[in-house]
Structure 1
């Protein structure tokens, strides 16, 4: 499934993730944390730049923009203890990243496939999440609702790639989109509902896996493009 280059990168990538997990909650290692957290997606950017030559320009550029805005979001969210404005700016950065992914995924939209059933499931999920968040959002109510709609759109766009790309690309990207949604849900619950045990670990693991799977899934389009 993974090429030799992808396997080598995967080892490096998950070492960076482990370093972030080990240093994120240790005050004396904050400097390493400030380096390791953005390094997770930066490593994906470097890897993607070096392995995406054969991808269409719109897909390549859209993916890179999504990753760049994700790094910006990562950096901003590291400083939420300094000012609540950093959380809002981080939210905007990740919202933009999700919009970039939506545009990338819709390039391979299956126009024959109805999203209504999947959207209904997502709305039930969103309503359940909102049940816990509502009443605690304050002036973040509208930004959070907008963000929820965008990430649900991202998951739907990933779902709509079915049968228009190879099964490996579809499966990896779709799973990555779902994990991204889970990661953001844990973050929202932890911030606006109640502190969750091991939230730092669960948020980072699901987030890192989401970005990794999406990038690898998009790169797997190369196989299909070469065959055509």
Structure 2
């Protein structure tokens, strides 16, 4: 029964978004302890299960970066529940940063890429980064270096996802790229909320976009197929 749910994309999608909406509801309407510590881990845990069921048998080396990335995001999720505490916020930034590094390693490949193709995209992402940083800069204070590093790693993750184009199949590329773009939007809202000011529907948007981002990233990795290189 479990395998049938996790091996069927439609059933898994329904299960995942039910779990995500339950977690959002708990965040909005229930006390943090113990309810949020129960609901939040399941968002990542079901992605673990989905990935494992669909990619098992491929060897540990094939899975290592994904497992490590999801593990550190799961730990970061638990700590950021207490984001009002400066220590927990700092540790969560560290864990999320490590998770991003492992996803960057997963998205990286050895195939040469056209540098000119990357330039316009890099300019757009750099401009976006400057815009967000300019908004939250005055509120960062002690978190200036950790926050800038975390945001830099997010941009790096987006670039690595972008460079998968032409190396992996289109459906995998589109899911992963959509996932990392959605992730950086969620992170941007979280940064403005934490270091600048409250925004309308911020808690719902952060969690909805974050969960959707992780769903698309993992789904894209599961659907990943490398194009064969022709030497003719």
Question: Structure 1 length as normaliser, TM-score?
Answer: 0.91
**Aligned counterparts of 1:152 and 1:75: Cα–Cα separation in 2:** 23
Change (3 A) 1:60 1:162: same
For residues 149-208 of structure 1, give each alpha carbon's deviation from its aligned partner in whole angstroms, at most 9, with x where no partner exists. 111000000000000111000000000011111111110000111011211110001100
Change over 3 Å in CA distance of 1:58–1:118 after alignment to 2:
farther
Instruction: Tell me which of 62, 65, 68 is aligned to 2:68.
Output: 65
Aligned position for 1:101:
103
User: 1:124-164, CA deviations, whole angstroms, 9 ceiling, x for partnerless residues?
Assistant: 00011011111111011111111111110000000000001
In 2: Cα distance, 1:13 partner to 1:177 partner: 18
Distance in structure 2 (CA, Å) of the matches to 1:116 and 1:222: 26
Structure 1 vs Structure 2 CA RMSD: 1.9
Cα distance per residue 1:48-76 (max 9 Å; x no partner):
11211254643411111111101000000
Question: 8 Å contact 1:70–1:93 — kept in the other structure?
Answer: yes
Q: How many residues align?
A: 221
Matched, 1:151 2:154: yes
1:125 alignment partner, one of 123, 128, 141: 128
Partner of 2:87: 85
- 28, 32, 35: which one pairs with 1:32? 35
- Relative distance call for 1:159 and 1:140 in structure 2 (3 A) is same
Q: Which runs of 5+ in 1 are unaligned?
A: none
Q: Secondary structure at the match of 1:79?
A: coil
- Deviations 1:91-147, CA, capped at 9 Å, x for gaps: 01100010001000003x652232222111100000110111111110111111111
1:179 is aligned to 2:182? yes
Runs (4+) of structure 1 exceeding 6 A deviation are none
Cα pair distance change 1:117/1:56, threshold 3 Å? farther
Contact 2:166 2:227 survives alignment (8 Å):
no
Match of 1:112 in 2: 113
Counterpart Cα distance in 2 of 1:203 and 1:77: 12
Q: Which of 7, 13, 16 in structure 2 is aligned with 1:13?
A: 16
Q: Is this contact kept in 2: 1:24–1:33, CA < 8 A? A: yes
TM-score by structure 2 length? 0.89
1:201 to 183, 195, 204: 204
Q: Is the 8 A contact 2:169 2:225 kept in 1?
A: no
